[in-house]
């Protein structure tokens, strides 16, 4: 049986663990990242890659402004392409209540310096040529929102960890977290290896509750199944992520690198659990919704459908920070926004773990907060 030591052990090879591990390694820490299966095998590799600062929670807006800044410099930072593209996000309003909610959100977002506007139906049509504007009252549009490729970003961070002297171990499932006198000491893997470190970061996404339990820490995340599909590639038709929040709405974007359209909708009746099977309902309902919004897409062929988990926290905001066990940290519960939050959350967690303080106050994402304040722009 071998033993290894690190400054910080990161559990989870999705975007959160990869980014946190990278920024820790950049600060000079010896990082060992333990991934149960292979990188991006959980939620990150199943997400559609949207990135936006249009939220209503002030800390989410501030974290996302930082994330957008980091995404903007990521290709230079990681030395590889990540298909980062600021094509914007357009949230459509088809009723007065939704329009008012967007106007209120825009008011909050502008306080933090986000350039976002409520644009007319005619402007929506200019931003998305071919948009069906029947019943449309306008849209909340932010041109600096965008997209990137989740695989390229995550693999880029992981390569960075290795370049900076850290290790990324795949097929390495943690089955025990050892603490002594209220302080984390080591983790053990299913293969029986023990890794010792003064800091352990639980970035296990949908499995963060299980990892938490191993340390005696309650991490309230619950997985919901969300389905997606991707079409064949097309010539560039429009730039932004189009979001329709109606009960029978959907959201989709054209991938800048490949030209595929990729999208999802949130089912009205949630499908709880970590299952990632696909449904025939989605395969027919999603196309109907996409074609209703942009009729000219009707001839485009669907290549694949799949599903992934949203790892939901009780209020839809991330769970980030310390836990009652000293040295045991959590960054999970990203509630469907892990990829976009990833760079900034990773960097903030690295600050917290490495020097005990963060450049943005993370209290509102703390594990022991009051969960009464839900995010409106889910």
Binding site for another protein (CB under 8 A): 38-40, 45, 151, 155, 170, 231-235, 258-259, 278, 280, 283-285, 287-292, 297-306
Nearest CB to another protein, comparing residues 116 and 256? 256
Which residues fall within 8 angstroms of residue 107, CB to CB, at 6 or more apart? Answer: none
Nearest CB to another protein, comparing residues 108 and 159? 159
Rounded Cα distance between 239 and 258, Å, is: 13
Query: C-beta of 136: minimal distance to another protein in Å?
Result: 19
Whether 253 and 241 have beta carbons less than 8 Å apart is answered as yes
Nearest CB to another protein, comparing residues 53 and 128? 128
Nearest CB to another protein, comparing residues 258 and 266? 258
Continuous segment of H or E residues that includes residue 224? strand 222-233
Query: C-beta of 290: minimal distance to another protein in Å?
Result: 6
Q: In 10 A of CB 326, how many CB atoms?
A: 14
Nearest CB to another protein, comparing residues 284 and 359? 284
Whether 156 and 78 have beta carbons less than 8 Å apart is answered as yes
Query: C-beta of 205: minimal distance to another protein in Å?
Result: 16
Whether 329 and 352 have beta carbons less than 8 Å apart is answered as yes
Nearest CB to another protein, comparing residues 43 and 186? 43
Query: C-beta of 76: minimal distance to another protein in Å?
Result: 21
In the three-class reduction of DSSP (H, G, I as helix; E, B as strand; rest coil), residue 336 is classed as coil
- In eight-state DSSP terms, residue 47 is S
Rounded Cα distance between 47 and 227, Å, is: 9
Q: Is 218 exposed, middle or buried (0-12, 13-18, 19+ CB in 10 A)?
A: exposed
Nearest CB to another protein, comparing residues 119 and 276? 276
Query: C-beta of 281: minimal distance to another protein in Å?
Result: 8
Query: C-beta of 348: minimal distance to another protein in Å?
Result: 27
Query: C-beta of 309: minimal distance to another protein in Å?
Result: 15
In the three-class reduction of DSSP (H, G, I as helix; E, B as strand; rest coil), residue 351 is classed as helix
Which residues fall within 8 angstroms of residue 376, CB to CB, at 6 or more apart? Answer: 56, 101, 105
Token digits for 12? 């989870």
Continuous segment of H or E residues that includes residue 144? none
Nearest CB to another protein, comparing residues 191 and 303? 303
Query: C-beta of 263: minimal distance to another protein in Å?
Result: 10
């Amino acid at each position: 049986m071998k033993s290894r030591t690190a400054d910080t052990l990161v559990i989870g090879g999705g975007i959160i663990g990869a980014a946190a591990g990278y920024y820790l390694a950049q600060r000079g820490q010896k990082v060992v990242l333990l991934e149960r299966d292979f990188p991006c095998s959980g939620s990150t590799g199943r997400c559609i890659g949207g990135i936006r600062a249009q939220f209503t929670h002030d800390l989410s807006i501030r974290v996302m402004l930082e994330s957008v800044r980091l995404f903007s410099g990521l290709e230079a930072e990681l030395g590889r392409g990540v298909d980062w593209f600021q094509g914007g996000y357009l949230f459509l309003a088809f009723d007065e209540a939704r329009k008012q909610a967007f106007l209120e959100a825009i008011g909050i977002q502008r306080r933090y310096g986000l350039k976002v506007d409520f644009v007319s139906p005619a402007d929506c049509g200019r931003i998305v040529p071919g948009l069906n504007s029947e019943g449309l009252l306008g849209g909340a549009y932010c041109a600096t929102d965008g997209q990137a490729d989740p695989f390229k970003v995550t693999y880029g961070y992981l390569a960075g960890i290795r370049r900076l002297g850290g290790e990324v171990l795949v097929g390495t499932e943690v089955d025990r977290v050892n603490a002594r006198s209220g302080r984390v000491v080591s983790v053990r893997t299913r293969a029986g290896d023990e890794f010792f470190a003064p800091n352990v970061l639980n970035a296990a996404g949908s499995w963060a509750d299980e990892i938490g339990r191993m340390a005696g820490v309650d991490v309230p995340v619950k997985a919901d199944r969300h389905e997606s599909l991707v079409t064949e590639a097309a010539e560039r038709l429009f730039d932004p992520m189009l979001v329709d929040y109606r009960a029978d709405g959907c959201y989709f974007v054209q991938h800048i690198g490949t030209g595929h359209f990729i999208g999802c909708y949130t089912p009205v009746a949630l499908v709880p659990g970590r299952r990632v099977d696909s449904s025939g309902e989605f395969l027919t309902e999603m196309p109907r919704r996409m074609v209703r919004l942009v009729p000219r897409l009707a001839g485009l062929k669907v290549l694949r459908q799949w599903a992934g988990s949203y790892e939901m926290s009780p209020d839809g905001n991330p769970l980030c920070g310390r836990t009652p066990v000293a040295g045991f940290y959590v960054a999970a519960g990203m509630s469907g926004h892990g990829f976009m939050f990833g760079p900034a959350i990773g960097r903030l967690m690295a600050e917290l773990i490495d020097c005990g303080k963060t450049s943005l106050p993370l209290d509102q994402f703390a594990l022991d907060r009051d969960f009464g304040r839900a995010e409106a722009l889910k």
